[in-house]
Chain A
């Protein structure tokens, strides 16, 4: 079984990668769903599968290739709609979505905010209906953004980090701090990602703010000032992680900040070597996304069945590969191709509380709190940086 899965994943990774395929996910992965489904489908104990399943979350995380066979076999019609950010889920929920939403995907920072604020959005999960969740890495079983008062509110499906990515023909490594990228030797070599929160967070950390997710106006100004010192060296700001990879592959820039380890694989398939790493002092930030079930979900059985299926080692390995991310199920790790395994340091998720994933917060609060500015101020600061 393991060899079959590995062979399919290997075939996927060695196939030519065009942009459409990159965006839509790897061909061939659907086969995995048969393998996974044969062993694990319809394990939503106590429930009958079939009928609609409404998904609202990040594009790709509904695993269209991975779950195709499972959905067909169980007569489930997936109605997927996509969010640009996790908080759009709350907007949708509160503007007529309640009672019609089943599965939602959340990033860990937003999920933590919702749990902390006791906001009504997702319901505690009955883990007896998701037996495959027992196979999660230990770090995800008790993570503070998923579990509160003994109740679990989400099942993580992928995780990762955003390191620097560069062309080794041009650079030996990265400096110790993000502010060091202001050095004129980087002129015409840097590409950033169009992500206000990631960039401001990194530079706030670089200028010494203790908790870069909670900035005062002065902290924010200081971070943007630091970012402006590297602006003359920035070639462009990638519209997406895929676009950023394209800029690096074309040779229009040679150093990306806030990148994606999977970009090395994209580049390799196009004949370009890229490597990842992070500034020794400032390091990088981490993320993780999870499946949750909405309060008043109308298709609860299908939702549990879906989450259980996609948390099987085979499906989780396929999804992690398709999305170029870390897997969350321990046995899925063994099914990954070594090139995918090596993208992330799994010691983080093997420890209780998921190490830095559990302690680090990147996305700011939506609303200002006293001196601490809200997310809108970060967005405006980012726009001011771009126009400067």
Chain B
């Protein structure tokens, strides 16, 4: 190394250090925000999950009793499995619809893409509860769908499974979460050049093969985010199953909410349940995204 190159190296090092310091300063408000409003509450909840309840008091000690109770309870296991199943099903339906819609916007109707995107997003402008009640109006015994089918003569009596059922929960959650899946998937797809598609087609790639080996891998970051959004939000929801789920569609979110309100509430148990659910859904997201990557590898 000559003196000249050392001098340049020092200058670059100094420049990099200044850039890093500048980046740290710029990032610090966001980091601070996350630490205060996410890290600290989560840590508090984690600590709480090792405490226990005596009468009306929460006793600050260190016990794994809540986690033991969850592990040994068939009730919590059943509800957790049911929740994961409904969440996966919702994501498995929502993501392909969002993918198809994004494909149509990107490659079939590119000139109408913004308009279609606005239509998809406009539902986010209305309140969450309002949208759930709208689905109740559509799916109810005397709702729009049943009335239309009866008017058309397709059915004699209302289809009762349309509302207050797992079916209603999945349909409603799909409707609610679709915009959140479309956004990242369309965003990923917008970066795929039409040339890639044409080259793959010229090389003999058939339509499904092209989707599997070109489109999905290239849109994978968006698909992964869309899947994570829909699965996590569906699995964590407790309002939708309460309002359209009927007498059997209890989800783990409902059980956790019960632990934080009313007589018989048990905050430490609720906190432990929240962490168990968090761990379970994160594990599933990791496994599923890994599987998607493997299946679509060419």
Q: Name A residues whose Cβ lies closer than 8 Å to a Cβ of B.
A: 19, 84-88, 90-91, 94-95, 110, 119, 188, 192, 194, 196-197, 231, 234-237, 239, 243, 246, 250-252, 363-364, 366-367, 374-380, 383-384, 386-388
Q: Please tell me if the beta carbons of A94 and B263 are within 8 angstroms of each other in the complex.
A: no
Partner among A88, A378, A387 whose Cβ is within 8 Å of the Cβ of B248: A387
Q: Which residues on B sit within 8 Å (CB–CB) of A87?
A: 56, 262-263, 265
* CB proximity of A319 to chain B, nearest CB, Å: 23
- Supposing A91-B56, A235-B164, A379-B258 touch, asked if A363 and B248 sit within 8 A by C-beta, the answer is no
Cβ < 8 Å to A, chain B residues 149-163:
160, 163
Q: Which residue of B lies closest to A110 (CB)?
A: B263
A387/B263 contact (C-beta < 8 A), A235-B164, A239-B243 known: no
Please report the C-alpha to C-alpha distance between residue A206 and residue B71 in the assembled complex, in whole angstroms: 34
Contacting chain A: which of B5-13, B29-37, B75-83, B222-230? B75-83
CB distance from A121 to the nearest CB of B (A): 10
**B264 and A379: CB pair below 8 A?**
yes
Q: Are B142 and A250 in contact (CB under 8 A)?
A: yes
The 5 closest A-B pairs by CB, nearest first: A375-B264, A84-B261, A85-B262, A379-B264, A236-B164
* Known A87-B56, A250-B140, A250-B142: A387·B265 in contact at CB below 8 Å: no
Q: A84 contacts which chain B residues (CB < 8 A)? A: 261-262
B83 to chain A, nearest CB (A): 11
User: A194 — which chain B residues lie within 8 A by C-beta?
Assistant: 242
Report the nearest A residue to B163, measured CB to CB: A252
Beta-carbon nearest neighbor of A376 in chain B: B264
Q: CA A264 – CA B17 in complex, angstroms?
A: 72
17 inter-chain pairs at a CB distance below 8 angstroms, sorted by A residue, are: A85-B262, A87-B56, A88-B265, A90-B56, A235-B246, A236-B246, A239-B243, A250-B137, A250-B140, A252-B163, A366-B56, A367-B54, A377-B264, A379-B258, A383-B75, A383-B254, A386-B250
B57 within 8 A of A: yes
Once the chains bind, are B255 and A88 in contact (CB under 8 Å)?
no
CB of A25, distance to nearest CB on chain B (Å): 18
Q: Which residues of chain B are within 8 angstroms of A243 by Cβ–Cβ distance?
A: 242-243
Knowing A196-B264, A243-B243, A374-B264, the reply to whether A252 touches B250 (Cβ < 8 A) is no
Expressed in whole angstroms, the Cα–Cα distance for A386 and B160 within the complex equals 19
Of A188, A231, A235, A383, which contacts B255 at CB under 8 A? A383
In the bound assembly, the distance between CA atoms of A85 and B56 in angstroms comes to 12
Separation of A380 and B143 alpha carbons in the complex (Å): 34
Contacting pair A380 B140 (CB below 8 A): no
Min distance, Cβ A200 to any Cβ of chain B, angstroms: 11
Mark out the residues of chain B between 106 and 162 whose CB falls within 8 Å of any chain A CB in the assembled complex: 133, 136-137, 140-143, 160
Check: B172 CB closer than 8 A to any chain A CB: no
**Chain A residues positioned under 8 Å from B164 (CB to CB):** 235-236, 252
With a CB–CB cut-off of 8 A, which chain A residues contact B258?
Answer: 379, 383
Which A residues lie within 8 Å of B261 (CB)?
Answer: 84-85, 88
A85-B261, A378-B264 known; A383-B243 Cβ under 8 A? no
8 Å CB contact of B75 from A119, A252, A376, A384: A384
B266 at the interface (CB under 8 A from A): yes
Asked if B204 CB lies within 8 Å of chain A CBs, one says: no
Known: A119-B56, A250-B136, A387-B248. 15 other contacts (CB 8 A): A84-B262, A87-B265, A110-B263, A194-B242, A197-B263, A231-B247, A250-B141, A251-B141, A252-B140, A252-B141, A364-B263, A375-B264, A383-B258, A387-B78, A387-B82
Closest chain B residue, CB of each to CB of A95: B58
**B184 contacts partner chain A, Cβ-Cβ < 8 Å:** no
Which residues of the partner chain A approach B58 to less than 8 Å between Cβ atoms?
A: 91, 95
Q: Closest residue to A94 on the B side, CB-wise?
A: B57
Q: Which residues of A contact B55 (CB under 8 A)?
A: 366-367
CB-CB nearest in chain B for A192: B247
Distance in angstroms from A100 CB to nearest chain B CB is 18
Looking at the assembled complex, report how far the CB atom of B191 sits from the nearest CB atom of chain A, in whole angstroms: 43
Q: Complex formed: what's the CA distance from A363 to B152 in Å?
A: 50
Give chain B residues whose Cβ lies under 8 Å from the Cβ of A119: 56
Q: Is B179 an interface residue (CB 8 A)?
A: no
Which residues of chain B (255-287) have a CB below 8 Å from chain A? 255, 258, 261-266
Neighbouring A residues of B53 by C-beta, 8 Å: 376
| A351, B55: Cα distance in complex, Å | 34
Chain A residues, CB < 8 A from B87: none
B245 at the interface (CB under 8 A from A): yes
Report the Cα distance A383→B255, complex, angstroms: 7
In the complex formed, the residue of B with least CB distance to A386 is B250
Q: Which residues of A contact B245 (CB under 8 A)?
A: 236
